[in-house]
Every structure is written in C-alpha cells, then in structure tokens.
C-alpha cells in the first residue's frame, strides 16, 4: 500500500520534473505571449477604417506593420491632412490614367511618352531595357540621344515568363515599322538578362540592323581589390587596347 503510494508520488514528480526541453517550451510560449499580446491588442484598438488604411499601406515594398502604422498616424495629423488628401487624389488619378506608351511600353498617361514624341531624338537608335527605372538611369548619363524600348521584365523560363508573356513581338513590330539602324541591348547583366539579350539578337539576325550589347566592366572610382571576381573576369575579357 505504502509502496504503491510512493510509486505514485514518484511518477507524479517524474511527470512534473522540468527538463531543459520543457523549460525552453514554457519560455518560448511565454515569449510568444509577450510578442503577440501587443499585436492582437493593436488590431482591436484601431477603428476599422484606420486598420484598413494601415493594411493598405503595407502593400508598398519594405513597409511592414510598424512603418504602415507610422505613415497612417503621420498622414492623420492635423497639419498633414491636406498633403495626405493630395496624395490620395494623385494616387487615384495616376493609377487610373497612367498606361503604357504605344511605342516603347514605358509608363505614361499620354499615348506616346515624352521621349518617343520628341523630335530631337535619333530615330535610328534603339535601346532595349528591362524597366522604366533603367530608362531613368541611362537618361541621367546625358550621353544617349536615341529612343528606348522597355520590356517590363526579362525572360525567365523557370518563373514561366517566355517571349509571349514578355510581349517581345511589340519590339519586333517596331523593327518593321521604323527605320532602326542600331539596337543596343541594355538588359541587366544577370543570366536572365543575358538570355533575353541573346534571344532578341537571335531573332533579329536576318534584319539589316546592327546589334550591340552593353559592356560589362569595373565601376568608376572603385578599387580593383573590392570587385567580385566575376565582374573582373568580364572586364579582363573585354579589355581595350590603348
């Protein structure tokens, strides 16, 4: 009788004994409660509209719960409301009106973007880039006076983006309709960008067009020591005679 009781006590103590694993689990649960408690509280303390605003702001890249909350509160401050309203109106107007340029596919609210409509641009030169940001980058050099074609992406078979999805035929139509003498393939120096450039080049071979590709090399003002081997290798291969 006594022995049975002792056994029972032992088994109970065995059950209750805190192993390192158990302590860690308890600690983790405690930590989780500490973290999740304020989160769940915030969800409930905000009014539905404010919550909707915060959640909508989170669609921007690099904006999480915290930043979205800060932005929402900032816009709701008395002296910022006017600016906030301007932002809202511009946002709505821009998202409805801005479409792709008929010729180069970059973003514009007109049928032709400024560069395509300009008469001072060389119509014989065409630079093919991946995104409107790349157009800006090349424009900032002030050394290119031709026109652009924005692909809005690159070929990536693994992500299901082939020539049809990219709309390369719009580019090929331009070769037929315009008098282009040189195509500069300025896609990114990644494998996908390279593949896109090679694809376009192979499709244009039969056309009387000069096809060039942007050079890969060392950045200006950099130190050779800190350049990655791959870039340096390309720079070595494409070296120039002085």
Partner 1 sequence: MTTKTNRFNEQAAFVLHSRPYRESSAIIDCFTREHGRVSVIAKGCRRQKSTMRGLLQPFLPLLLSYQGQRELKTLTDCEARGFSYTLRDVNLFSAMYINELLLLLLHKEEPFVGLFDVYESVLATLARAEATSPEGALREFEKVLLESLGYGIDWQYDYKTDQLLEKDARYYYQPGFGFTRLEAGSSLLNHPQSFSGEAIASIAASDWHEDMLPQA
- Paired strand residues for 185: 128, 213
Per CB under 8 A, residues contacting partner 1 are 20-21, 24-25, 28, 61-62, 157-159, 190-191, 194-195, 198-199, 201-202, 226-231, 233, 237
Nearest distance, CB of residue 239 and partner 1, angstroms: 15
Question: Would you say 44 or 239 has its CB closer to partner 1?
Answer: 239
Are the C-beta atoms of residues 105 and 152 closer than 8 Å to each other? yes
Q: What is the DSSP secondary structure assignment for residue 161, as one 8-state letter?
A: B
Which helix (H) or strand (E) covers residue 162, if one does? none
Q: Which is nearer to partner 1, 2 or 158 (CB)?
A: 158
The minimum distance between CB 163 and partner 1, in angstroms, equals 12
Contact 66, 53 (CB under 8 A): no
Closest to partner 1 by CB, 115 vs 235, is 235
Residue 175 CA to residue 207 CA, distance in Å, equals 8
- What is the phi/psi pair of residue 104, to 5°? -100, -5
Which residues are within 8 A (CB) of 216 and not within 5 positions of it... i.e. 6 or more apart? 189, 231, 234, 235, 238
Q: Determine the Cα angle at 78 with ends 77 and 79, to 5°.
A: 95
Least distance to partner 1 from the beta carbon of 189, Å?
A: 9
CA distance 68 to 188: 32
Residue 31 vs 97, nearer CB to partner 1? 31
Q: Is the Cβ of residue 48 or residue 62 nearer to partner 1 in the bound state?
A: 62
CB 227, min distance to partner 1, A? 8
Q: Token match 């929402």: residue? A: 72
Q: Residue 222 CB, nearest distance to partner 1 (Å)?
A: 11
How many Cβ atoms sit within 10 Å of the Cβ of residue 161? Answer: 15
Which residue's CB is nearer to partner 1, number 15 or number 226? 226
Residue 39 CB, nearest distance to partner 1 (Å)?
A: 20
């Amino acid at each position: 009788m006594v022995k049975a009781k002792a056994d029972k006590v032992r088994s109970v103590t065995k059950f209750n004994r805190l192993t390192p694993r158990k302590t860690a689990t308890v600690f983790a649960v405690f930590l989780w409660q500490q973290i999740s408690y304020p989160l769940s509280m915030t969800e409930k303390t905000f009014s539905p509209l404010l919550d909707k605003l915060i959640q909508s702001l989170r669609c921007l890249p690099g904006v999480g719960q915290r930043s979205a909350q800060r932005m929402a509160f900032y816009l709701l401050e008395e002296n910022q409301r006017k600016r906030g309203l301007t932002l809202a109106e511009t946002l709505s107007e821009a998202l409805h009106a801005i479409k792709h340029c008929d010729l180069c596919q970059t973003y514009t609210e007109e049928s032709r973007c400024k560069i395509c409509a300009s008469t001072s641009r060389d119509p014989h030169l065409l630079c093919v880039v991946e995104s409107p940001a790349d157009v800006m980058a090349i424009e900032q050099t002030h050394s290119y006076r031709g026109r652009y074609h924005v692909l809005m992406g690159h070929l990536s078979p693994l992500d299901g983006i082939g020539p049809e999805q990219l709309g390369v035929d719009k580019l090929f139509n331009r070769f037929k309709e315009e008098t282009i003498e040189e195509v500069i393939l300025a896609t990114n120096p990644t494998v996908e960008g390279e593949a896109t450039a090679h694809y376009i080049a192979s499709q244009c071979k039969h056309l009387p067009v000069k096809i060039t590709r942007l050079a890969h090399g060392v950045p200006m003002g950099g130190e050779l020591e800190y350049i990655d081997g791959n870039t340096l290798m390309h720079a070595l291969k494409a070296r120039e005679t002085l």
